Amino acid sequence: MNKIIGIVSGKGGVGKTTLCANIAFSLAYAGKRVIAIDGDISLKNLDIPLGMTDKSVYDFTDVLSGRCEIEKAVVRHDDCPKLHFIAAPQQADPDSYNAQGFARLCRQLRQTYDFVLIDAPAGVGKWVRDIIGCCDECIVVATPDLTSLRDAQRVVQLISDSGDPPSRLVINKVSPAMINRGYLQNVDDMMDSVALPLLGLVPTDDSIVIYSNSGKPVAGSKSVCAHPFENIAMRLCNHGVPLDKYWRKNKNK
């Protein structure tokens, strides 16, 4: 079934945009039709890890306010034809978008695409609530530190207030060495604190920053960091991909 999936977090900088771009590539490489929407008005940057900077003339508020047809705002990735993108505006007049219009746009896109991925801004503001309200499913992203996990709990509360779309947790920037030394909680405790099932774990790795900055996907590359993103994408397709052997070994420590 086609799905609208929001990628959300309480704390900023936890890796939503990186995750959104890499699962978008992974799903498209797996043959799914994918559209990634940058929902981060004013702080848009999904175009960077997608390698689609300067491709968009129009953004989603242009569609919502009737300044352009939807087809003009949708741009196709040059090297990955099943992956499409809609930009966010750099600045937006509050009259040019609203929750109902955005939800309508997402539902319309869901008729064409297997996955409509929305890269949300951080936090618990009204626009984040509006995004959650139009999703079939949410991915809550957190990093292993207590501040991020506590902020993720606040987002889980928002999700529950928005009618409880099914939600799963991705813990990004995980350092197995820090967990093993006892400086961070183990993964079970992280899951318990946020009270969500685990969708995946992504290690902290400088190569992810290097790939992102060059507009190249980690997913599909030879980097060891490709697998966590690809596995998350497969789980979104309901394939039962077990956690990597390494994580299984460390999960209950």
Ligand X SMILES: Nc1ncnc2c1ncn2[C@@H]1O[C@H](COP(=O)(O)OP(=O)(O)OP(=O)(O)O)[C@@H](O)[C@H]1O
Residues lying near Mg ion in the complex (CB under 5 A) are found at 16-17
For the bound state, the minimum distance from the C-beta of residue 123 to Mg ion, rounded and expressed in Å, comes to 11
167 neighbors 139 (Cβ within 8 angstroms): yes
Please give the Cα distance from 46 to 77 (Å, whole number): 13
173 is an interface residue for ligand X by CB under 6 A: yes
Among 4, 5, 8, 14, binds ligand X (CB under 6 A): 14
**Closer residue to ligand X (CB): 194 or 202:** 202
For the bound state, the minimum distance from the C-beta of residue 117 to ligand X, rounded and expressed in Å, comes to 13
Instruction: Show the tokens assigned to 176.
Output: 């197995």
Max alpha carbon distance in the chain (Å)? 55
For the bound state, the minimum distance from the C-beta of residue 244 to ligand X, rounded and expressed in Å, comes to 14
Q: In terms of Cα–Cα distance, which of 120, 135, 87, 168 is closest to 12? A: 120
204 is an interface residue for ligand X by CB under 6 A: yes
Among 5, 35, 122, 196, binds ligand X (CB under 6 A): 122
H or E element at residue 198 = strand 198-203
Q: In terms of Cα–Cα distance, which of 38, 30, 51 is closest to 232? A: 30
User: Backbone phi, then psi, for 140, in 5-degree steps?
Assistant: -95, 125
Task: Please compute, for residue 62, the number of CA atoms within 13 A of its CA located in the half-sphere on the CB side.
Answer: 17
Among 159, 208, 232, 233, binds ligand X (CB under 6 A): 208
For the bound state, the minimum distance from the C-beta of residue 49 to ligand X, rounded and expressed in Å, comes to 7
Q: Which does 205 bind (CB under 5 to 8 A by kind): ligand X, Mg ion, none?
A: ligand X
For the bound state, the minimum distance from the C-beta of residue 215 to ligand X, rounded and expressed in Å, comes to 12
129 is an interface residue for ligand X by CB under 6 A: no
Q: Which does 105 bind (CB under 5 to 8 A by kind): Mg ion, ligand X, none?
A: none
Exposed / middle / buried, residue 81 (Cβ in 10 Å: 0-12, 13-18, 19+): exposed
Q: Which does 172 bind (CB under 5 to 8 A by kind): Mg ion, ligand X, none?
A: ligand X
List, in sequence order, every residue forming a beta bridge with 5; answer none if it has no partner: 117, 137
132 neighbors 142 (Cβ within 8 angstroms): no
**Closer residue to ligand X (CB): 95 or 206:** 206
For the bound state, the minimum distance from the C-beta of residue 179 to ligand X, rounded and expressed in Å, comes to 15
Binding site for ligand X (CB under 6 A): 9, 12-18, 40, 122, 172-173, 202, 204-205, 208-209, 212
